[in-house]
């Protein structure tokens, strides 16, 4: 297993996979490295929810099994896992034989937990029930119809985050489909639906949308992008409660769905959006 810095990761490089099970393909990246320079309030609660749609191995007789995987990584784990390395690792199961699915699940639990430095919750889902899951948008009031003027900027614009006038205390859940960030290595676009749940002085919806749109040229990992949004809202608007949740569009058979909050929510929805 690699333990180097981001420039040594398989991301952005031609990389050969493996035709046999190989946990050394996993590439952990220290969260301290990705968070370097992020001088913002950190969320005490959160996780990164990965869905793997291209998961397969062989049963004891050599017959292919296909499944869907869900991996939940705590936001306070020492490491995150680079996404291309996770795909290569999961592909290394394709020709491996397991008598029972739980053996494969336990193998993934051991390897992913070791890579992240903290136990990772691993679920193996049958594709038949999974295919029956409907796609629904994130719950909340969509703010994308705000009539805003905007000029492209090279860096996020947190000055747009202000309270409304007047600013009564509210509890509301806001949603935007306009979040776009970019891979910090390849520059390729990452698209997401964004949900913001908060309690506090009312946040100006137009200003919030301007801030979200200002991230279009931001080059960050999914996880750090959500942490940046959480930190900027907390620093500028100081809500009593805040949860930021992004469901990113699937890439290479994987989608990543980070959430960060200053409270422990009863639940964080797992329903796929249409773009996933």
User: Is residue 274, in this structure, part of any structural domain at all?
Assistant: no
The residue from 75, 102, 131 where one domain ends is: 131
Q: Domain check: are 122 and 161 in the same one?
A: no
The residue from 103, 131, 159 where one domain ends is: 131
Q: Domain check: are 114 and 158 in the same one?
A: no
**What b/e sequence results for 81-91 when a residue is b if at least 16 CB atoms lie within 10 Å of its CB, and e otherwise?**
bbbbbbbbbbb
Q: Domain check: are 108 and 182 in the same one?
A: no
> Please, where are the H alpha helices in 119-255?
127-131, 205-213, 222-237
The β-bridge partners of 198 are 172, 242
pLDDT of 130 reads 59
User: Is residue 136, in this structure, part of any structural domain at all?
Assistant: no
Which two three-digit tokens encode residue 249?
């569009």
Number of domains in the chain: 2
Q: Domain check: are 46 and 94 in the same one?
A: yes
Range of the domain at 93: 6-131
- For residue 63, the tally of other CB atoms under 10 A from its CB is 8
Mean pLDDT per 10-residue segment, the chain (276 residues): 56 68 96 93 98 96 96 98 97 96 97 98 86 83 95 90 97 98 94 98 98 95 97 98 97 96 93 90
Q: Are 240 and 200 in contact (CB under 8 A)?
A: yes
Contacts of 104 (CB under 8 A, 6+ apart): 57, 93, 96, 98, 124
User: Is residue 192, in this structure, part of any structural domain at all?
Assistant: yes
pLDDT of 158 reads 96
Residue 111 catalytic?
no
**What b/e sequence results for 5-21 when a residue is b if at least 16 CB atoms lie within 10 Å of its CB, and e otherwise?**
ebeebbbeeeeeeeeeb
User: Is residue 266, in this structure, part of any structural domain at all?
Assistant: no
Q: Domain check: are 51 and 69 in the same one?
A: yes
Q: Domain check: are 186 and 244 in the same one?
A: yes
Q: Are 153 and 214 in contact (CB under 8 A)?
A: yes
Residue among 183, 218, 225, 237 flagged as catalytic: 183
Q: Are 240 and 214 in contact (CB under 8 A)?
A: no
User: Is residue 51, in this structure, part of any structural domain at all?
Assistant: yes
Residue 183 catalytic?
yes
Q: Domain check: are 23 and 77 in the same one?
A: yes
pLDDT of 135 reads 87
Q: Are 192 and 179 in contact (CB under 8 A)?
A: yes
pLDDT of 15 reads 65
User: Is residue 171, in this structure, part of any structural domain at all?
Assistant: yes
Q: Domain check: are 83 and 150 in the same one?
A: no
pLDDT of 11 reads 57
User: Is residue 276, in this structure, part of any structural domain at all?
Assistant: no
pLDDT of 138 reads 95
User: Is residue 270, in this structure, part of any structural domain at all?
Assistant: no
pLDDT of 153 reads 87
DSSP state, residue 161: -
Cα separation values, 261 from 32, 48, 167, 234, Å = 19, 12, 22, 10
Q: Where residue 17 sits, what CATH number does that domain have? A: 3.30.1130.10
In degrees and rounded to multiples of 5, residue 8 shows phi and psi of -95, 5
Q: Are 271 and 134 in contact (CB under 8 A)?
A: yes
Cα separation values, 50 from 38, 84, 99, 120, 255, Å = 23, 13, 25, 11, 6
In degrees and rounded to multiples of 5, residue 258 shows phi and psi of -85, 145
How many Å apart are CA 28 and CA 21, to the nearest integer?
18
29 three-class SS = strand
pLDDT of 56 reads 97
pTM equals 0.92
The residue from 105, 131, 157 where one domain ends is: 131
Residue among 48, 111, 190, 204 flagged as catalytic: 190
């Amino acid at each position: 297993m690699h333990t180097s810095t981001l420039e040594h990761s398989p991301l952005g490089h031609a990389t050969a996979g493996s035709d046999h099970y190989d946990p050394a393909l996993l590439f952990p990246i220290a969260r301290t490295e990705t968070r370097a320079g992020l001088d913002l309030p950190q969320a005490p609660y959160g996780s990164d929810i990965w869905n793997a749609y291209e998961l397969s191995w062989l049963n004891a007789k050599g017959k292919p099994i296909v499944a869907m995987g869900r991996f939940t990584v705590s936001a306070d784990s020492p490491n995150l896992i680079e996404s291309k390395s996770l795909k290569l690792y999961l592909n290394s199961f394709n020709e491996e034989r397991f008598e029972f699915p739980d053996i494969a699940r336990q193998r993934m639990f051991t390897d992913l937990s070791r890579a992240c430095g903290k136990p990772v919750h691993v679920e193996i889902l049958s594709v038949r029930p999974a295919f029956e899951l409907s796609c629904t948008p994130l719950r909340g009031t969509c703010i994308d119809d705000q009539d805003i003027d905007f000029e492209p900027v090279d860096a996020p614009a947190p000055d747009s985050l202000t309270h409304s006038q007047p600013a009564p205390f509210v509890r509301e859940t806001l949603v935007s489909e306009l979040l776009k960030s970019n891979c910090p290595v390849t520059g390729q676009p990452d698209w997401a639906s964004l949900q913001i749940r908060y309690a506090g002085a009312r946040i100006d919806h137009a200003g919030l949308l301007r801030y979200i749109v200002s991230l279009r040229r931001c080059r960050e990992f999914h996880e750090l992008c959500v942490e940046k949004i959480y930190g900027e809202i907390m620093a500028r608007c100081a809500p009593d409660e805040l949860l930021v949740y992004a469901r990113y569009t699937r890439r290479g058979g994987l989608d990543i769905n980070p959430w960060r909050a200053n409270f422990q929510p009863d639940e964080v929805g797992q329903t796929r959006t249409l773009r996933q």
